[in-house]
Amino acid sequence: MLSRLIALVAVGAGLVTAASSGCPVFDADMNLYVLGGASDYVFGAQDAWSSASAKTLSAAGKRPPFNGSKAPRCYLSQFNNAIYVLGADSANPTGIYILNVATKTWSLQAVDAAGIDTTDQVEILDHDTNVFYALSKGGFWFVNFHDQKDAISSALAWTDMGTKPAFDTSGYKATMGIASNHVHMFGTPGSQPGEASIFVIHYAFPQAQLQLYPSVGGKSNFPVAHGQAPSLFRDGPEQTVIAFIPDDGSATYLVDTKANKTLPLAGPTDKSSSIFTASTSAVVQLTATGKIFFLPVDQADIAGTAANSGAAWKTLATLPGASTTTPTSGNTTSTTGTPRPGTSSSSSGSGSTDSTGDESQSGTGSDDGTGSAGRLTTSAVLAFFAFFVALF
C-alpha cells in the first residue's frame, strides 16, 4: 500500500512537470518535433505521418530544463533552420534557447528584459526579419535575432517601441498571428467577427482601422475570442495564411491575408487543452495528454472551396509514455493562453520504457504562449492535473 502511494505521488509529480513543458514545432524541412519534458521527439515529415513513430532527438549543448510555470513557446526561424524556445527555464524567464537544427546543438541566448513583463508578454516571430515582436504592458516591444542559429556571447535586449495598439488593451489577452508582414491580433475589444487588428511591422504602425476577412460562402466567421493563431509556412517567402482556433475548439479558420478571405473548417475533434502549430501543409494539435492530430491544408486556394472542402482532423501519433486515458473535462476555454500537454504514467507508450511523455506547444502566437502555435490555458492545465489527482 505504501509503495503504491509512493508510486502515485511520483506519477503526480511527474505530471506537474510534464504539464508545464513542451511544444510542437517544425524545422525548415517541415519535420515535426515535440520539444520538452524528459525528451525531445521527432516525427518526420507529413508524408510519413500515416505510420508516424516518435524518434528521440539526440542533441548536444544546453538543452532547456523545461521547468517554466507556463508552457514554453517554440518558434521556427525558417531561413536559419533554427528553433527558438521561450519560457522554458524558471530560473531565466527572459533567456531564449536555440536549437540549431543542422548541427543538433542547443544554446542559450541571454536576453535582458529591459522593462518588458515576461508574465504578460505575448510575442510572435516575424518571418522575414527574424525579429520578435511582443505585446506587454499595453505596448509593443521587439528584440532582433538577425540570422542567429546559435547564441552569441553578448546579451540581446527587449526594446520598448513606444507604440501602442489602436485599441484599449486593458483586459485583452493577446492572440497574435503573423502574415503579409503584419502582426494580426484576434479577439480585440471593439472588433466584430472576421475582423483583426493589424500592426504593420515595417513601419511600426498600428493600423487604426480593423481588417475584415469575409467568410467564404458567407458562413459564420471567426469569433471575437481568445485562441491560437499559428501561421502556415511557405517555401521561402512571407507567410500569408493564419490558422485561428478559438479556445473552445469549435472550428478552425484559415485566414488568407492576400485574398482577404476566411475559410471556416472543422474544429479539432479532441477539444481538450492543446497547443497548435503549423507547417506548409498542415495544422498540428498537441493535446495535454500527449496526443497529436493534424488537419491537412492546401494553401494554393484557401479562398476557393474545392481544395480544402472535406478537410478533416486525423490522428498523427501519441507521445511515448502518454496516457491512453482520456480526460473527460479539460478544455481550452482559457482566458490566457497556452496549453501545454502533459502526460502521465509510463504504461503505454511506443517508445522506450522509461521515458514518460511530455508535451508541448508552439508557436505563433497567441496569448501567453505562441509562439507559433497555440497553447493551453493555465486553468485547463490545472483542471487536467486535478483530474488526475482525483483519479488517485
Ligand X SMILES: *[C@@H]1O[C@H](CO)[C@@H](O)[C@H](O)[C@H]1NC(C)=O
Which of helix, strand or coil describes residue 113? Answer: coil
Is residue 306 a contact residue for ligand X (CB under 6 A)?
no
Among 91, 300, 306, 390, binds ligand X (CB under 6 A): 91
* Least gap, CB of 333 to ligand X (angstroms): 4
Binding-residue pattern over the window 355 to 384 for ligand X, x denoting contact by CB under 6 A: ------------------------------
Is residue 259 a contact residue for ligand X (CB under 6 A)?
yes
Give the residue among 261, 258, 263, 288 at the shortest CA–CA distance from 276.
288
Is residue 90 a contact residue for ligand X (CB under 6 A)?
yes
* Segment contacting ligand X by CB under 6 A, of 89-97, 140-148, 160-168, 221-229: 89-97
Cβ atoms of residues 49 and 316 within 8 Å: yes
CA dist 60 → 98, 106, 107, 115, 182 (Å) = 12, 6, 9, 32, 35
Nearer to ligand X, 16 or 161 (CB): 16
Nearer to ligand X, 68 or 349 (CB): 68
* Least gap, CB of 91 to ligand X (angstroms): 4
Among 112, 120, 238, 248, binds ligand X (CB under 6 A): 248
Is residue 260 a contact residue for ligand X (CB under 6 A)?
yes
Residues in the interface with ligand X (CB under 6 A) total: 11
* Least gap, CB of 154 to ligand X (angstroms): 21
* Least gap, CB of 159 to ligand X (angstroms): 26
- 16 conformational bin, left if phi > 0, alpha if psi -120 to 50, beta if neither: alpha
Nearer to ligand X, 45 or 259 (CB): 259
Distance in angstroms (rounded) separating the CA atoms of residues 236 and 249: 30
Which of helix, strand or coil describes residue 140? Answer: strand
* Segment contacting ligand X by CB under 6 A, of 87-95, 236-244, 296-304, 341-349: 87-95
Nearer to ligand X, 272 or 366 (CB): 272
Give the residue among 36, 63, 83, 42 at the shortest CA–CA distance from 233.
83
Nearer to ligand X, 8 or 259 (CB): 259
Rounded to 10 degrees, what is the CA torsion of 372, 174, 257, 287? 40
Contacts of 126 (CB under 8 A, 6+ apart): 132, 133, 178, 181, 183, 201
- Looking up cell 458562413 gives 219
Distance in angstroms (rounded) separating the CA atoms of residues 27 and 81: 6
Among 53, 181, 333, 348, binds ligand X (CB under 6 A): 333
Nearer to ligand X, 88 or 124 (CB): 88
Is residue 331 a contact residue for ligand X (CB under 6 A)?
yes
List of long-range contacts for 194-200, beta carbons under 8 Å, 24+ apart: 194/221, 194/222, 194/262, 195/224, 196/255, 197/165, 197/166, 197/167, 199/133, 199/140, 199/165
Cβ atoms of residues 107 and 64 within 8 Å: no
Of residues 47-86, which lie at the interface with ligand X (CB under 6 A)?
Answer: 65, 67
Nearer to ligand X, 5 or 13 (CB): 13
- Looking up cell 513542451 gives 22
* Segment contacting ligand X by CB under 6 A, of 54-62, 88-96, 103-111, 123-131: 88-96
Distance in angstroms (rounded) separating the CA atoms of residues 347 and 50: 23
Interface with ligand X by CB under 6 A: which residues? Answer: 65, 67, 89-91, 248, 259-260, 271, 331, 333
